[in-house]
Every structure is written in C-alpha cells, then in structure tokens.
Amino acid sequence: MADRRKTSSQDKAALAGRALYALGNFRGIAALAAVLLLGVIFSPQSETTGKLMFLTRRLHNDTLFENAEYGILAVGMTLVILTGGIDLSVGSVLGFAATLSSLLMVAYGWSPVPAILVTVLAGALAGSINGFLISRFRIQPFVATLAMMVAARGAAKWISGGIKVQPGARENYALQGNPPQFYTWMTSKVGGIGFEPATLLFIIGIIVMLLVVRYTGFGRRLYAIGGNEEAARLSGIRVASVKVAAYMLCGIMAALAGVSNAARLQLGDPEAGFTYELDAIAAVVIGGTSLVGGHGGMFFTLVGTLIIGYINKILSINAVAEHFRLLAKGGIIVAAVLIQQRRKT
Amino acid sequence: MRKASMYISPAIALLICIAGCAKQVGKTGSRGTRSTYVIGMSQCNRGEPWRVQMDADIKAAALKRPELKALFKDAQNNTATQQAQVREFIAQGVDLIIISPKEALPLTKPVAEAVDAKIPVIVLDRKVHGDKYTCFIGADNVLIGRKAGEYLARVLGGKGKVVELKGLMTSTPGQERHEGFMQGIEGSELEIIFDADCHWLEPDAQREMQSALARFPEIDAVYGHNDPSAHGAWVAAKREDKGREKTTKFVGIDSLPHEGIRYVRDGILSATFEYPTGGREAIDVALKILKGENVPKNITLGTRIFTKDNVNKGGEVL
C-alpha cells in the first residue's frame, strides 16, 4: 500500500499544469531546461535573418517532427515498462508497418484509411503475440520480444522482397509515378494548427495515453503489476490480460510510428526502425520511468523524448563532428539518469 | 516477370557481355572441356540492397551461360559463417569460388585454403590479405567521388555552396568518397558549408538536411555519399515547401536500378554515379579462368554517370 501512495504522489508531481510544484519535485524538467539553455547558448545565427536559430519557431517545429516517431514508440514502451516488462520488437514492428502500409498503398493502390487500419491491426497482432508469450507461456519479456524483433524484421523483408517499397520500384506496382498524396499530407503543416499530422499523432498519442495511465483502472493496474505482480494478482487483478493489453497497445503505437516513418521517407523501407527500440527505451528511462516497473509515467516520457530530441538537434544544427556527438550524447544521458536517481533515493 | 524492373541495367550490361563472350563458347566446345561448372558464391551480407544487386548481377550473368551453375550463400554479416561457407565450398569440390568478404584478415586463410585445393577464387569488392587468391575485382571510390566533385563543379559553373551528407566515416568507402570529392572540387570555388555523418541512412540524412535548410538560405548542391542520402535530402527540401528541391542539385552514388537510377529518371537527383557490383565481370573472369586462360590479378572497375539525358541509354562511362 505504501507503494501505491508513493506512486500517486509522483503522479501529482508530474502534472503538467502545476509547473511550479513540478519544478521542485521533478528534476527531469530541470534537465530539459538545462538542455534548452545549452541550445540557446550554442545556437548559430540564421544566415538570412541573423536571429538566433534556437529562438525560431521553425527549429522547434523541426525537432518535434523529427522526434515524433521515437516519441510514439516511447509512449507504447512506457506502458510496457510500467508493468516491469520491456519490448525490444518495436523497431522491427515499425519497419514491418512501414513496409506493409506502403505496400498496400503503393503496390496495391489501396486508399490510406483501410491501409492504415490493416497495418494497425498487424501491429496489434504482433503486440498481442508478445503479451501472450509473456503472460501465458511465462517467457521472459526480453526473450519473447527479442524473438519478435527478429521475426518482424524477417516478415518486413519477406513481404517487400527485400527492396524499398516506392512507386515504380517494380513494374507491377499500382503506383508508378508520384508517391501517395497521404505521404505529403502527413508531413505538411495543417493550416491553422501549424503542425504536421505526423507530429500531431505524437502529441495526441501522448495526451491520450497520459489520461489513460493516470485516470483509468487500466492505468492503475499497470502500476500495481509493475510495483508487485504477486500482490496485484492476489488483489484480484487479471494480470495476464492487463499485460497482453499493454503489449498490444505498444504494438499499435509501433505500427502508427511505422506509417509515419513511411510518410516521412516517402517509401517503405524494410530496414526502417533498426535500433529504434534503444532510442525509445532511452527516452523512457531518461524521463525518469523506472526500468523495474511501477514508477514513472507518460509526462516523464514526453520530457525524456524532448531531452534526447533537443540534444540531437543542437548537435546537428551546429554540424558537430560525429565523435563529439556520441561523446556528448553519452555524457548527457548519464547526467540525466544521475539526476533521476537522486530523486528516487 | 515481377523482377523485370530490377534488371534493366544489368540486362544492358549483359548484352555487351554476351556479344563479348560469343566467340569463347565455340572455343570451349572445340577444346572438349567439361560441360558444366559449379560456382560457389559467398556473399557477406544480403541485408544490404547493393549486395542483393551483386548477387542478382552474378545470377543474371550466370543464367546466360548454360555451362555454369551458381550456388549462393549469405553469411548474414557474420565472419565466422563466411569462413565456414568457403570451407563448405572446398569440401563440396566446387569448380570456382566467388567471395565478397566481410573482413579481409579472417577470410584470408579460408581463401588461401581454397587456392591450395586448386580451386580458383575471385574476390569481389573488399580485398583479402596477401596474394593467395586468383583475381580481385573492385571499384574505385576515390575515382567516383572525384567524378562527382568534377560534375558539380562543372554544372554549378565552378562556384557554389554544397552540403555533404557523408556515409559512415569510419568505413573506407565513406572516407574515400569524401577524399575523392575534395580532389574533384579542388581549384573551383565550391565550398562545403555543412556536413554530417549520416551512416548511409536515409532518415539520418533527412534530419541533417533539415538542419542545413534551416540554417542556410542558399544551398546550391547536395552531395550524398549514397543515393538514399541524396533522396532523403530532396524529401526534406520538398517538405520545406519553398521550391528549393527544384533549384538545388542533388547528387548521389551507387546507381541501383530501383533507387538512384529511378530517382534520376523521376528528376529527383541531377546525377548518380555507379558503384559497380562487379557481379557481371566476375562471371566473365570466371569463364576465362575455367577455360585455363590468364586473367589479371587485380581488376579495377570504372564508373558510369546517370543523368536525365542518358539514363535511358544506360548511362555514360566515365
């Protein structure tokens, strides 16, 4: 019970609206603020206007757009990690979904809605298989999702014939000239909002899941299972079905990220998403969600995604050499996690 | 029929090959040598599209020769697997081995064992150490980079701002494509204003290009170390919606039929430079070896440029 109380107090601390309260308790925000400050300090000037680039709207828009896929993956990953599990298959499921959705639209000429529906169903299926193997057959999450990681990549290469799916890649494809309109729509700013649908997918996804995790019974059960699985079982929670649901949602998010990836690249690459599972896990952990399960939440993941995204953007906009980029990234990850550990003790 | 589009350029190449080999077929018959030969091909990683193309080129060339039977093995990026594959081919007693090694040092010994067992070995793309192999066929990345640099210097009138989207810079092809490019633009007023290591990956190239576009109002050309990088940069420019994808010249390397060549045909890339797989040449050389003819120890392949004007004519040899 003490565990539950602690969780709910952390939840309160993470509430976005109470910024002042959060700043005192939630060091992730401090870490993000520090990264943003670094961004301003090291910002190059725009060659056109002479303004500091880090203070332009475009840069922040680009950062969100570029990190939307990692963010969507991280949202699903958070659900799984809250139960004390892990999903290594999200990168491969992303690749499979990118390939499948573009195959349906480009090779078979389907319209976007049914193509996305089928792709999301495929993602849900992959996630359910993960959940089923873990909860019914007692296979370690690491092992079960590792198997799915390998298998989903194989499936992506199989359905695509090993090539990137794009108009004209094969003679018998329905589309031979331009890529589907949907790709352009997905990656162009929607009038009035100023965000691309690909970015919106991330923002909406994280808001919906934040509400689900915080305010539904399902969300509370995720924490309960991650905190103490045996206690959760004894208190009458159907642990197996909650876990299957968590992995299924994770698969669905990976599928959506895959659709988004295909739109962004304008092609379905069977190799897409390679090692993205590590980026997703990093975003979750840097945000402050515990890998042991039971502690953390969606807001943490949003902050974690932004921290990594902005670090990458700052290094990229300054055209920093590769070796320094990797060193800097490693250092900042350790620094962020150290801050989190201080909070937990 | 399904794969027809993948074979357009190898098919053109084949026509030349058939014409060149026509005389030798008769010779084989008259000398009364064996009627069929088995060639074992060990590919280091079929996960890479360019290597898939290499296998496809070998297969297509071998299919045109009824006396050849080719066996393909994929080492799936695992050196130990590839060592075992070479030894399997030796044990099996194939007539000739073609190998595109993952790493030079660990595969030197298996290749030498094959030569000791009187099985000729053709090494493709990456070398092995020493001289215990029959023939090495490889392309010249420095040359290709230089040609790309010279091309851009020419079409930009000797002056302009260039973004360089590099391949993995810890790999030799990445280093050589950069080195060659610098040689090619030497003496011109071409200036590299932004560069980044994109690890050969299109998403990375797209991200880096977004940063470059945000920072620089004028970008005259983008030099991608491979075609997907150049394509990713084009998509980023198009998404910006300022028409810069039309005014900027995008140049890539590799020229795979369903990637670079198609991008040139669609007007996305201004040019792509072929990094030949050597698959077709390997079969030519294999036939000569099997007939007891002498072949050079090292063969360096040239490159071809594909632009909108020559793409339907199979490019232009440089």
Q: Domain holding B112: CATH number?
A: 3.40.50.2300
Tell me, what amino acid is at B24? Q
Task: Clarify whether residues B268 and B290 are in a common domain.
Answer: no
Residues of chain A contacting B169 with CB distance shorter than 8 Å: 322
Tell me the H-state helices in chain B.
8-31, 49-63, 79-92, 104-116, 141-155, 172-185, 202-215, 227-240, 244-247, 260-265, 279-290
Mark whether B282 and B135 lie in a shared domain.
yes
By Cβ distance, the residue of B169, B194, B207 closest to A66 is B207
Inter-chain CB proximity B215 and A168 less than 8 Å: no
Instruction: State the Cα torsion A254-A194-A314-A257 to the nearest 10°.
Output: 10
Neighbouring residues of B155: CB distance < 8 A, sequence distance ≥ 6? B249, B270
Tens of pLDDT, residue by residue over B245-254, are 999 999 999 9
Type of residue numbered B224? G
Query: Does the pLDDT value for residue B259 go beyond 70?
Result: yes
pLDDT exceeds 60 at position B20: no
Of B3, B195, B259, the CB nearest to A164: B259
B263 lies in a domain? yes
pTM here is: 0.82
Distances (CA, A) of B163 to A48, A320, A333, B192, B199: 17, 14, 29, 6, 15
How many domains in chain B?
2
Tokens of B250: 């995008």
pLDDT reported for residue B31: 38
Residue B238 falls inside a structural domain: yes
Which amino acid is residue A44, in one-letter code?
A: P
Angle (deg, nearest 10), helices A239-265 and A217-227: 110
Across B54-75, average pLDDT: 94
Same domain, B70 and B161: no
Helix (H, G, I), strand (E, B) or coil at B71: strand
Q: What is the pLDDT of residue B144?
A: 97
Please name the residue of chain A whose CA is at the shortest distance from the CA of residue B212. Answer: A317
Is B72 inside a domain boundary?
yes
Q: What is the pLDDT of residue B8?
A: 52
Asked if the Cβ–Cβ distance from B214 to A163 is below 8 Å, we say no
The C-alpha angle B231, A283, A36, rounded to 5 degrees, equals 85
Residue B167 located in a structural domain: yes
- pLDDT confidence band for B24 (50 / 70 / 90): very low
Nearest alpha-carbon partner for B13 in B315, B305, B237: B315
Phi first, then psi: give them for residue B136, nearest 5 degrees.
-110, 130
B148 and B99 fall within a common domain: no
Instruction: Give the contacts of B157 (CB within 8 A, at least 6 positions apart).
Output: none
Do B206 and A319 lie within an 8 Å CB cutoff? no
A contacts of B196 (beta carbons < 8 Å): 316, 319, 322
At residue B210, the pLDDT reads 95
Say which DSSP state B94 is in: -
Q: Is the pLDDT of residue B300 over 50?
A: yes
Write out residues 99-128 of A within 8 Å (CB-CB) of B.
none
| Interatomic CA distance for residues B269 and A123, integer angstroms | 34
pLDDT tens string B99-127: 999 988 999 999 999 999 999 999 999 98
pLDDT of residue B28 exceeding 60: no
Cβ <8 Å between B5 and A269: no
| Sign of CA pseudo-dihedral A291, A293, A295, A297 | positive
Q: Which of A116, A150, A130, A118 is nearest to A262 (CA)?
A: A116
State the DSSP code for A139. Answer: -
Q: What is the mean pLDDT of chain B?
A: 89
Domain boundaries defined on chain A: 2-344
Q: Judge contact between B149 and B176, C-beta under 8 A.
A: no
For residues B120 and B210, membership in a common domain is answered with: no
Strand residues in A18-163 grouped as ranges (E): none
User: Which ranges of chain A have pLDDT less than 50?
Assistant: 1-5, 13, 16-17, 20-24, 344-345
Q: Would you list which residues of chain B are within 8 Å, Cβ to Cβ, of chain A?
A: 1-6, 46-47, 49, 52, 169, 194-197, 202-203, 206-208, 210-211, 214-218, 228, 232, 235, 239, 241, 258-259, 262, 266
> Taking the CB of residue A297, how many other CB atoms lie within 10 A of it?
25
In this structure, the answer to whether residues B295 and B231 fall within a common structural domain is: no
User: From CA B11, how far away is CA B174, in angstroms rounded?
Assistant: 29
- Biggest alpha carbon distance in chain A? 65
Contacts of A266 in chain B (CB under 8 A): 235
B188 within a domain of the structure (yes/no): yes
Enclosing H/E stretch for A226: helix A217-227
| Nearest CA distance, B268 vs chain A (angstrom) | 11
Smallest CA–CA distance, residue A161 to chain B, in Å, is 10
Is residue B108 domain-shared with residue B185, that is, in the same domain?
A: no
Question: Quick one: B105 and B21 in the same domain?
Answer: yes
The pair of structure tokens assigned to A94 is: 């992303």
In a domain? residue B80: yes
User: How far is residue B65's CA from residue A41's CA, in Å, rounded to a whole number?
Assistant: 66
Question: Residue B22 belongs to what domain range?
Answer: 4-139+278-302
Percentage of residues in chain B having pLDDT higher than 70:
90
A197 and A185 in contact (C-beta within 8 Å)? Answer: yes
Check pLDDT > 80 for residue B136. yes
Among B47, B232, B262, select the one facing A265 at the smallest CB separation. Answer: B232
CB contacts of B191 in chain A (<8 Å) are none
Which of A20, A159, A44, A24 has its CA nearest to residue A103?
A159
Per the domain annotation, does B117 fall within a domain?
Answer: yes
Please report, to the nearest 10 degrees, the dihedral formed by the alpha carbons of residues A305, A311, A313, A319 taken in order.
Answer: -160
Q: What is the pLDDT of residue A246?
A: 97
What is residue A55's DSSP assignment? G
Q: Do B211 and A312 touch (CB under 8 A)?
A: no
* Rounded-to-integer distance, Cα B257 and Cα B278, Å: 15
The class that CATH gives domain A2-344 is mainly alpha
**Cβ burial A43-71 (10 Å sphere, 16+ → b, else e):** beebeeeeebbbeeeebbbbbbbbbbbbb
The model's pLDDT over B142-176, given as tens digits with 9 standing for 90+, comes to 999 999 999 999 999 999 999 999 999 988 899 99
Position B38 in a domain: yes
pLDDT at residue number A266 = 93
Residues of chain A neighbouring B218 (CB-CB closer than 8 A): 47
Whether A191 has its CB under 8 Å from any CB of chain B: the answer is no
Distance to chain B for A249, nearest Cα, Å? 25
Give chain B positions within 8 Å (CB) of A47. 215-218
Residues B113 and B86 in one domain: yes
Note whether A56 contacts B: Cβ–Cβ < 8 A: yes
Q: What is the pLDDT of residues B201-245, one digit of tens each?
A: 999 999 999 999 999 999 999 999 999 999 999 999 999 889 999
